[in-house]
Chains A and B, each alone.
Chain A
Amino acid sequence: MNHIVKHEWKLLTSDSTVGLLLIIFALCTVFAIWNGALWVKFQNNATANVLSEETARIDSMKALIVALDRGEVTVLSYFDPRDPTAAGKRVANRYALMPPAPLAVVSVGQSDLYPFYLKISTDTREAILTAQEIENPLRLLTGKFDPAFILIFLFPLLILALTYNIPASDKESGTLGLLLSNPVSLKRLVTIRFLMRFAVLTIGVALITLLGILFSGTAPLDGESIAKLALLLFFIVVYSALWFSIVLFIVSFGRSSATNATVLAVVWLALVIVLPTLFNLAAKTLYPVPSRVELIDAMRQASKEASERGSVLLARYFEDHPDLAKGDSIDTRNVAAMRAVVNEEVERMIAPVLDRYRNQLEQQQSVIRALRVLSPAIVAQDVLNDIAGSGMDRYKHFLRQVEAFHNEWKEFFMPRIMQKVQFREYEKLPEFLYEEEPLSVAIGRVIGGVIKLALPAILLLVAAFQLYRRYTVV
C-alpha cells in the first residue's frame, strides 16, 4: 500500500508533462482571478460614479431652487427642479443599484449582460429596466476568462489529461502484469492511483483558487465570504470527483490509452459544449420568446389608445382619488397629470404582454433545470454564478426591489403632479437600499446543485467497479 503511494508520487513528480500542465493551469487560474478582480473593480468604480453623480445632481438642484426663487436664473419648465413632473422624471432621479457580492471575482456570469444600476424615474417600468451597461458585444459573445471558465471548462480537461492512461499505459508497456504479480488486486491498485491523483489535483486546484481569491483583495473577510468560500471548496471537490469518476468509468472498459483519450475528449465535448447548446436550442424552440419588437409594437399601440382616452382617464383618476381633486372641475390643461395617468394606463395595458415574455423565459428556465442533470457544466455554471452572486436568481431578487422602489417613487410624485404643487422636498426623496438575498437561500441553491453533481458521480463509480471485475490485464 505504502509502496504504491510512494511509487505513484514518484511517477507524478518525475513526469515533466504533469509539472508543465500544472504550471500552465496555475498561471491560467491566477490570470483569471486577476481578470475577475478587474471586473469587480470596474463595477465598484461605476457604482461610486453613480452615487457621486446622484449626490452632485441633487445638490445642484437644491442650489438651483434657491437661485430660481431669487429670480437670478430662469430655466425651461421641463428642467425646473420645483416642477414635480420634471423632478420625478428628469432631475431628481435616484439610482437603484446592486453592489457586487463578496465573491463576485469567481464568475462574471450574467453580470455583464444585465445592468447593475438603474436610474429610477416616473417613467414606465419598461423604460427604466431597458438601461444597459456598455460592453463590446464581441466580449459578451466570447465570454470572459474568469475563474468560472477555468473551473467549468479547463479543470475537467486537466483531470482527463492526467488520468486517461491509467491503467492502460501500464498495460501497453507490459508493466501491469508485472505489478499485479505482487500481492495487490487490480481494483486496489487502480483505486489508489486514482485517489492519489484526485487528492493532488483537487487540493492543488482548490488551494490556488482559494488563495488567489483571498489575495485578489476583492473578497472581504466576513461571515458571508467564508461561507461562500466553503461552498466553493465543496463544489471543487465534488466537481473533481465527478470527472474522476467519468474517467474511471471510461477506462474501466479496458481500451487502449489512445482510444480512451478520444472517447474522453468526445465525452467532455458532449457534456460541456454540445449538450448545453443543444438544451438552449431545445428550450428556445419549445418556448420561444417573441422578439421584443412585438413589445414595442404593443406599447406604442397602447400609448396611442390611452392618449386618446386621456381626459377620461384623468377624470377617473380623480374619482378614485377625490382627496387630490381641487374643487369640482378637473383641470384638463394639467398636461403632466394627463401624461402621468396615460402612463399608468399603458403599464396596465401592456402587463399581459410583458407577462408573456416573463412566462416564456420561466418555461425555458424550467426546461434547462430539468435537463441540467445531464450536463455537469450547466450545473457548475449555476453553482458558480450563485456563489459569485452573478446569476439570474440574485438579479431577480434585485429586480423585485427595483419594482417596489419604482412604485414608491411614483406614489411619492403622483399626488404632487396631480395637484400641480411646487416641489421642494429634496430631503424627503425616497432612497433605494439594496437588501442582500438571505445567505441561506443562496446556500440552498448551491447545495441543491452540488447534489446534482454528486449523484451521477456515485453511480459512475459503482458501475466502474463492476466493470473492473472483467478488466483483462494483458
Chain B
Amino acid sequence: MLTRIAKKEFTEMLRDGRVRWSAAAVLGLLVLSLVIGLVHYADISAQHEAARASERQRWLDQGNKNPHSAAHYGVYAFKPKNVLSVLDAGLDPYVGVTVWLEAHYQNDFLYRPAQDATAVQRFGEMTAAAVLQLLLPLLIILLSFGAFAAEREQGTLRQLLSLGVDRRLLALGKAIGVTSGLAVIIVPAALLGAAAVMLYAGSAEGWEGFVRYALLVVVYVLYFGVIVGVALAVSAAVRVSRVALVVLLSFWIANSLMAPRLASDLSKMLYPLPSSIEFKTAMKKDLNDQRELRALIEAKKQELLRHYGVDFLQALPVNFTGFTLQAGEEHGYKVFDRHYGRLFDLFEKQMTAYQMCGFLAPLLPVQSLSMGLAGTDWHHHRHFVRAAEEYRRVIQKIMNDDLFKRGQITGPRGGEAGTLYMAGPELWTKVPDFLYEGPSVGWVLTRYSLSLVVLGFWCLAAGILAAVTVSRMRVV
C-alpha cells in the first residue's frame, strides 16, 4: 500500500510540466554554481599558494639584519580556502584573507572579499547552500501544499479513507512520494558534489573532507524532512488548498527571509559591539599601562647584574634588549588576548543568540551547521586567527632569544644596545614555515551542539505535527 501511495504521488509529480521545469531549474542552478565555484576555488587556491611560497622565500632571503628588524619586517599569513567553501561560501566574503604578523602588534585581518564586489553581493551568493536553503524548501512547498487539501477539495480523500487506508500510512506514503521527487534532483547533485570533493580535496583533507561532506548531506536531508513534515501538516490542517499554499508561503518567507535578519538584529541588541575606535582606544590604554612590565624588567636587570657580578648593562655577556623586547611582547599578549578574546566572545554570544532563534525558524540551525561543516564559519576563522597569532609569537620568541643570547655588540656610536648585531639566513630558517592545519570534524560538531539540538527539535516537532494533524484531519 505504502509503495502504491508513494508511486502515485511520484508519477503525478513527474507528469506535471511545472514540476519538471522547476526541478530542472533547481538542478541547473546547483550544477552551475558547483562548476563555477570549483573554477573560482582553483584560481584562488593557486593565488594563495603562490603568495604563501613567495612570502616564505622573502623571509628567508631578507639578508643580514638585526633580529628585531626582521621581526618588524614580519610575515604575512594567508588564510587558505576550504574546498567545501564551494558549496557554502558562508562568512568567507565577510572576513579578511590576510594578516600581517609583525613585532609588538596583533594586527587585524585585512581585505574582506565582499569589499571587492558590487553591492549585489549583499543579495547573497549563488552557491549550492543558497539553492538548498532557499529554493528547495520552496519547491517542496509547491509540490506538497495540495497533498491533502487538494484531495479533500476533489473529494478523493473521503474515497481513499473509506477504503480503510491508515491515515498515517497515507501521510508517510505522500512524504515518500515527495521525497523521491526531490531525490531526482538531490541524488545526482549530491553524487556530483561528492565527485568534486574527492577530486579537489588535497590529500590532507581527503577523508576529513568526505566526512564533512557526508554530514552536510545529512543536515540538508533532515532539513528537507522538516519542510516536508510542516507542509503535510499544513495541508492536512487547512481546509482549502489555496489557503494551505498561502500559509506555507508565509512560513517560507518568515523562515528564510525574515528570520535570519531578525535574529541577527536581535542578537546585536542583546550583545552590542564596541565601535572600532572604542576598541582600539581601550586596547591602546592597556598596552600603554606598563607599570607591571617596568617592574618586571627592573627586577630581571638587578638579577642579571648580580648574577654576572657587573655594574652596568653593557658589561653583561648577554644582550638585555632581547629580554625587554620579549617581556614587552608578553605584556602585549596578555592585553591582546584579553581584548580580542572579549570581542570574539561577544561575536560568539551573538551567534548563540542567533542559533537560539532557530527554535522559531529551522533555517537558522541548518545555515549555521552548513557553514560550520563547510569550514566557512566564524569558528574556523577564529581558529585561523589564533594559529596565525601563535605563529607570530613563535617568530618573536626566536628573534628575541637570539638577540638575548648573542651578547653585546656595540658599535662606535654606542647607541641602543644590540642594534648593530646582524643575524643571517641561519636564524631565518630557524623559524618554521607556517603550515596551517584546520580543525577536525569532531571539533566542529562540539561547537554546534546547540544547532544540532535545535535541528533535532524541528525534526521531532515536524514529525509529531504531521502525525497529529493527519490523524485529526477533516475528511470533507
Contact = CB atoms under 8 A, between A and B. Distances in A.
Given A137-B94, A293-B98, A294-B47, 19 more contacts: A35-B265, A46-B276, A133-B275, A136-B273, A136-B350, A139-B267, A140-B91, A145-B258, A145-B265, A258-B242, A261-B245, A289-B116, A291-B47, A291-B48, A291-B113, A293-B52, A300-B58, A381-B122, A381-B123
A113 B124 contact: no
Contacts of A154: 253, 257-258
B331 interface: no
A283 to B, nearest CB: 6
Given A134-B279, A136-B350, A280-B126, A293 B51 contact: yes
Given A134-B273, A292-B111, A361 B142 contact: no
Interface in A372-398: 377-378, 381-382, 385, 391-392
B115 interface: yes
A50 interface: yes
Interface string A51-68: 001000000000000000
Interface in A19-49: 28, 35, 38, 42, 45-46, 49
A143 B122 contact: yes
A139 B350 contact: yes
Interface stretch (A244-252, A262-270, A434-442): A262-270
A273 B347 contact: no
B277 A117 contact: yes
B117 A284 contact: yes
B58 A301 contact: yes
A466 interface: no
Given A42-B275, A266-B22, A294-B51, A140 B114 contact: yes
B170 interface: no
Given A133-B275, A135-B273, A297-B51, A141 B94 contact: yes
A202 B242 CA distance: 26
Interface string B264-288: 1101110001111111010000000
Contact of A357 (B93, B116, B273, B378): B116
Contacts of A157: 253
Interface stretch (B130-138, B312-320, B425-433): B130-138
A113 B91 contact: no
B47 A281 contact: no
Contacts of B245: 258, 261-262
Contacts of A117: 277
A391 B122 CA distance: 12
Nearest to B37: A281
Contacts of A2: none
5 contacts: A110-B119, A143-B260, A265-B142, A292-B113, A296-B98
Interface string B194-227: 0000000000000000000000000000000000
Contacts of A295: 111
A304 interface: yes
B118 A361 contact: yes
Interface of B: 18, 22, 29, 32-33, 36, 39-40, 43-44, 47-48, 50-52, 54-55, 58, 76, 78, 90-91, 93-98, 108, 110-126, 130, 134-135, 138, 142, 146, 241-242, 245-246, 249, 253, 257-258, 260-265, 267-269, 273-279, 281, 343, 347, 350-351, 354, 378, 381
A277 B37 CA distance: 13
A341 B36 CA distance: 43
A326 B51 CA distance: 42
Contact of A281 (B33, B138, B264, B275): B33
A269 B29 CA distance: 14
A113 B112 contact: yes
A139 B246 contact: no
A137 B117 contact: no
Contact of B119 (A109, A257, A273): A109
Interface in A356-370: 357, 360-361, 364-365, 368
B268 A136 contact: yes
Contact of B123 (A114, A131, A139, A280): A280
Contacts of A269: 134-135, 138
Given A49-B275, A300-B58, A140 B94 contact: yes
A280 B125 contact: yes
A472 interface: no
Nearest to B354: A138
A292 B98 contact: yes
B58 A283 contact: no
B246 A161 contact: yes
Nearest 7 pairs of A and B residues by beta carbon: A292-B111, A276-B123, A46-B275, A137-B94, A140-B94, A277-B126, A293-B51
Contacts of B112: 113, 132, 137, 140
B346 to A, nearest CB: 8
Contacts of B22: 266
A290 interface: yes
Query: Which of B97, B113, B121, B343 has the most A CB atoms < 10 Å from its CB?
Result: B121
A145 B260 CA distance: 9
A141 B90 contact: yes
B108 A132 contact: yes
A274 interface: yes
A304 B43 CA distance: 26
A153 interface: yes
A142 interface: yes
B120 A261 contact: no
A279 interface: yes
B119 A277 contact: no
Contacts of B124: 273, 276-277
B120 A368 contact: yes
Contact of A134 (B78, B125, B274): B274
A261 B246 contact: yes
A278 interface: yes
A142 B261 contact: yes
A288 B126 contact: no
A181 interface: no
A130 B30 CA distance: 34
A141 B263 CA distance: 12
Contacts of B52: 293
A277 B29 CA distance: 11
Contact of A46 (B97, B117, B277): B277
Contacts of A285: 36, 39-40
Contact of B55 (A46, A143, A274, A297): A297
B55 A277 contact: no
B211 to A, nearest CB: 25
B347 A136 contact: yes
A416 interface: no
A285 B38 CA distance: 12
A144 B265 contact: yes
Contacts of A50: 277
Contact of A283 (B93, B120, B253): B120
A381 B123 CA distance: 10
B123 A273 contact: yes
A291 B273 contact: no
B120 A378 contact: yes
A262 B142 contact: yes
Nearest to B110: A130
A198 interface: no
A264 B268 CA distance: 34
B118 A283 contact: yes
Interface centre among A137, A153, A360, A368 (most CB of B within 10 A): A137
Most buried by B among A50, A269, A292, A294: A292
Of A38, A261, A277, the most chain B CB neighbours within 10 A belong to: A277
Given A136-B350, A138-B91, A377-B123, A261 B40 contact: no
A137 B126 contact: no
B281 A145 contact: no
A149 interface: yes
A432 B142 CA distance: 57
B391 to A, nearest CB: 16
B76 to A, nearest CB: 5
Contacts of B91: 137-138, 140-141
A171 to B, nearest CB: 13
